[in-house]
Amino acid sequence: MKCIINRRAQFSASHRYWLPELTDAENAKQFGLCARAPGHGHNYVLYVTMEGELDEYGMVLNLSDVKSVIKREVIGQLDFSHLNDVWEEFRQTLPTTENIARVLWRRLAPFLPITNIQLFEHPQLWADYQGNDMEAYLTISTHFSAAHRLAHPKLSYEENCEIYGKCARPHGHGHNYHLEVTIKGEIDPRTGMIADLGAFQKAVQDQVVEPFDHTFLNKDISYFAEVVPTAENIAVHIRDLLRNPIKEIGATLHKVKLIESPNNSAEVYCTEAEASLLQAVKAEPALAKI
């Protein structure tokens, strides 16, 4: 019987986004404050995901052995270090979150049956790497506050109350929405980036946070005039709003997760098949009935 286990570890380290082939002005333009000397630091949190068969003792791996490997190969070498200098991989490719995750996979894979490396640079930024050459995933999280009412426009108040309960009350209610947006792409062999982080954050801010924040979604966002703004429908709409802006910064939108409350969340993925269907629907309105 196969089972997936996770091991958490953490280390503190500094890094700097700076390339010697660029001038100081060029580095500052490309990397912003991250180019400042001598660098800046983070408390990194690492999750190592492993898969294997359960043994007669009820374990995939002895966690003491896993802890020792991670300490020997990663934590003992990176904790309280300047990442640009500690490993040759970070002199070839800058130690961005996504590239650190890739290099950690390479360091640990000879010893552990890894299926995913997840590295948090801070609670609002993390990367996942799954062993696919230079492909990685980068996630940012943000939030907005908005009100909504769950009521289908073609149903009576009584019918809506039967379906949506208190959420159908006429004056609506509000949430502090937590939004996670994940992109995927190829890590640049020099900058270490899937895409420019500032451009990624700006796309989410401009397309979602700014227009959605402090609104009554049913009234202020035209899409929800006829579409019930459930968490699921909001996530789908955010996905469709971000698909092209993310493509323009050189990455692919992978997933949108919307957390409406601690008890309720929705996530949707972005696939090429969905993108093709979306374009077909826009080009031929009759297909919208499918």
- Residue ranges, the chain, pLDDT below 70: 272-290
Q: What is the pLDDT of residue 224?
A: 97
CA distance 243 to 224: 19
Q: Are the C-beta atoms of 244 and 278 separated by less than 8 Å?
A: no
Non-local CB neighbours of 64 within 8 Å, separated by 6+ positions:
none
CA distance 11 to 75: 6
In 3-state terms the chain splits into helix, strand, coil percentages (rounded to 5) of 40, 30, 30
Q: Which of 110, 119, 117, 146 is nearest to 131 (CA)?
A: 117
Half-sphere exposure of 180 (CA within 13 A, CB side): 19
* Catalytic (active-site) positions: 167, 214, 260
- pLDDT per position as a tens digit, 64-99: 999 999 999 999 999 999 999 999 999 999 999 999
Q: What is the pLDDT of residue 240?
A: 97
CA distance 152 to 156: 8
Q: What is the pLDDT of residue 195?
A: 97
Q: What is the pLDDT of residue 173?
A: 97
Q: Which of 98, 126, 125, 128 is nearest to 115 (CA)?
A: 128
231-248 vs 272-283: helix crossing angle, rounded to 10? 90
Give the SS3 label for residue 144. strand
CA distance 60 to 211: 47
Q: What is the pLDDT of residue 285?
A: 38
Domains of the chain, each with CATH number or no CATH: 1-131 (3.30.479.10), 134-290 (3.30.479.10)
Neighbouring C-beta atoms of residue 231, cutoff 10 Å: 20
Q: Are the C-beta atoms of 98 and 126 separated by less than 8 Å?
A: no
Q: What is the pLDDT of residue 286?
A: 36
DSSP code at position 81: E
What is the pTM for the complete model shown? Answer: 0.91
Q: What is the pLDDT of residue 271?
A: 78
Q: What is the pLDDT of residue 274?
A: 57
Residue 185 amino acid letter: G
Give the SS3 label for residue 134. coil
Residue given tokens 């910064």 in the structure block: 249
User: Counting runs of H as helices and runs of E as strands, what totals does the chain give?
Assistant: 12, 10
Q: What is the pLDDT of residue 37?
A: 95
Distances (CA, A) of 139 to 120, 168, 184, 204, 263: 9, 33, 9, 11, 21
Residue given tokens 């500094």 in the structure block: 14
Q: Which of 94, 80, 92, 90 is nearest to 34 (CA)?
A: 94
Give the SS3 label for residue 235. helix
